[in-house]
Structure 1
Amino acid sequence: MSELTFVDVCSGAGGLALGLERAGFEPRLLLDEDGDACSTLRANRPQWNVLQTDLLDFDPSEHPESYDVDLLSAGLPRVKSSATVGRTDSRVEERLLEATVYLVHAIRPRAVLIENVPGLAQADEYQPFRDLAHAELTHLGYEFSWFVVNAVDFDVPQNRKQGVLVAVERHSPQVFRPPVPTVCEPRTVGEVLGASMASRGWSDASRWAAQADQPAPTLVGGSRNRGGADLGPTGAKRKWATMGVDAHTVGDEVPGPDFAWDPELGRRGMVKITIEQAALLQSFPTSWEITGRKTARYRQVGHATPPPVGEALGRAVAEALEGARAVPAAG
């Protein structure tokens, strides 16, 4: 089959790009405004062409490698929850959605993939964006799919719903079909993190893992303008507490042999999830290095598209673009 190529914007820690790589796509250009995220990408894939710039300032005419690609992908910052409506950073993030659509005019990829909050695909508050995307991309000759995927259906131990737009050129070999789940039974937090919790000799690790018998709630990276690292909003924190995890902060290391785990004591009796463990809950490989200081590292992890979701979406796009010649599924 011919090589499939892509440009990835707002690349972050590289979860979507890594998934697309596994699906048979080769990146021509990845861009992100955050220096730590760009360092992460370069540390893990020195051969990737990484550009540090704001998408709103990006001029593709200065980067000819961004033209004539099969896919424009964007795992954009999650926007416009009820807690963020009206904030300045929420409006900036909405502008990134619009800028991605306008970028299609310039580089004319064969397909477009945008991932964001689940409301992107169905909520009334996103109707203006869906109208914009429909008007601009229909004019350019693309067919649309709006849908929601849950990472837990793709072997990620986390309930993480994502709204997805895929637009494919009308003359593609096949109609695009959203990916179907790859697993029947979700993996649990205890199953995935049990070994790491025991790695410093904590004797209660297996007992903790037995209680952490469900997938994680959605990890949230948070805004660069507010606060430090924690595992999510109030509802998520309550869910973590049922698993004996203090979600108000992120740990520096896993428990040692003397740690007394007793959730009835409140936060001081609970374990903390480390950044490396959060990356496992996002299904990054253990070899994937996240660079920067603690809060910046966690933010990259929390905002990422889980690589297995990126791979599933990439294979579905590849099938539409290449027909029967789409890359085979990984064994």
Structure 2
Amino acid sequence: MSGLRFVDVCAGAGGLALGLEQAGFKPVLLLDNKPVACETLRMNRPQWDVLEMDLLDFVPDEHPQTYDVDLLSAGLPRVKSSATVARTETNEEERLLEAAVLLAHSIQPRAVIIENVPGLVDAAAFELLREFVRKELEHLGYRLHWFVLNAADFGVPQDRKQGVLVALKERYFHSFRPPVRTAPKHLSVGDALRQSMAARGWSGADAWADQATSVAPTLVGGSDNRGGADLGPTGTKAAWARMGVNGGALADEAPGPEVDDCPGLIKLTDVQAALLQSFPADWLFAGRKTARYRQIGHASPPPVGEALGTAVAQALRG
């Protein structure tokens, strides 16, 4: 089992897949229904097999390389609470989660990773969904671990809590241990972006970084159907303002000398948002600025994927 293989569905910009690659896994197929996300994946990893298709339409029989892999991973769109679902016509996110679970019937991976909202782990609003997942996977011989991770504990400069399901076939279950914190202390926004803020000669970069001493609020990509790129709802924007950042929009470039003459809140760039998600500096994002930011905000930070991949690989290897 030296070369561990995985299938990644709802792959997005590749944050989870990149982390799994760093943990020693090799993808046999990545699936996403958004053309711009698939373009991002192909730009960065031309050798990856990327399929542009909705998960609900995916037929494993047409892609036999997906059978008998070590891992099925899914960084799914965030399922909504029951209160939110009541206000929507459909619950597409819940259907995708169910489809990812049912995919295990066909490809029979040795392990499954599903990453989603923290509430999926224990909130009453998701009890029926958890019960569906449990019944389907236990029927196939898996046993389940549910837990919550905070990306900040793995060196990501962001308070980003993620609900995680790891399911393993019975023989591997007792060898699995959920990832434990790897960062001795949380990385602040200022320390993460200091160099980027100074790149165009802004004289205030160090002073700004010295006061931006906390981790970032959770980045959110927002809806694909409305609005431009911003850093989140009102409360999140207020938290950004306390760090000297205008959360209402993104900048096209890092601040330069012109900012010295117009003091006030600065704006982040999509490149800086990617740094806050801990993507490597050379990871490129396709599309226009808003499309790039949405991919970044929806992504799973690669260090979390690496931690999960390492934990699963250790269990599979015994």
**TM-score, with normalisation over the residues of structure 1?**
0.93
Separation of aligned partners in 2, 1:189 and 1:113: 29
CA distance in structure 1 between the aligned counterparts of 2:292 and 2:79, rounded to whole angstroms? 20
Superposition deviation, residue 106 in structure 1: 0.8
Q: How far apart are 1:150 and its partner, in Å?
A: 0.1
* Residue deviations 1:86-145 (CA, integer Å, cap 9, x gap): 354860011111100111111110000000011111111111111001100001000100
- State the alpha-carbon separation in 2 of the partners of residues 222 and 5 from structure 1: 32
Matched, 1:2 2:2: yes
- Among 268, 281, 284, the alignment partner of 1:289 is 284
* 2:97 corresponds to 1:97: yes
- CA 1:292–1:90 in 2, change beyond 3 Å: closer, same or farther? farther
Runs of 4+ displaced beyond 6 Å: none
Q: Does 1:204 align with 2:204?
A: yes
Q: CA contact under 8 A between 2:30 and 2:51: conserved in structure 1?
A: yes
Identity among equivalent positions (%) equals 65
Once the 2 structures are TM-superposed, how far is the Cα of residue 228 of structure 1 from its aligned partner?
1.3
Unaligned runs of 5+ in 2: none
Counterpart residue number, 1:243: 243
Q: How does 1:59-208 map to 2 (within 5 A)?
A: 59-80=59-80, 84-88=84-88, 91-172=91-172, 174-208=174-208
Q: Tell me if structure 1 keeps the 8 A contact 2:81–2:125.
A: no
**Alpha carbon RMSD of aligned pairs, Å?**
1.6
CA apart distance, 1:227: 1.4
The CA distance in 2 between the partners of 1:173 and 1:287, in whole Å, is 36
Aligned residue pair count: 318
Letter in structure 2 aligned against 1:66: T
Partners of 2:261 and 2:86 in 1: CA distance: 41
Counterpart residue number, 1:270: 265
Classify the secondary structure of the residue corresponding to 1:143.
strand
Q: Is residue 79–residue 90 contact of structure 1 (8 Å, CA) maintained in 2? A: no
Unaligned runs of 5+ in 1: 264-268, 324-331
CA distance in 2, matches of 1:110, 1:89: 36
Aligned partners of 2:86 and 2:257: how far apart in 1? 47
State the alpha-carbon separation in 1 of the partners of residues 18 and 280 from structure 2: 10
Higher alpha-carbon deviation: 235-244 or 172-181: 172-181
Higher mean alpha-carbon deviation, 136-145 vs 164-173, is at 164-173
Counterpart for residue 317 of structure 2: 322
Q: Is the 8 A contact 1:80 1:90 kept in 2?
A: no
Please state whether the residue corresponding to 1:26 is helix, strand or coil: strand
TM-score (norm 2): 0.97
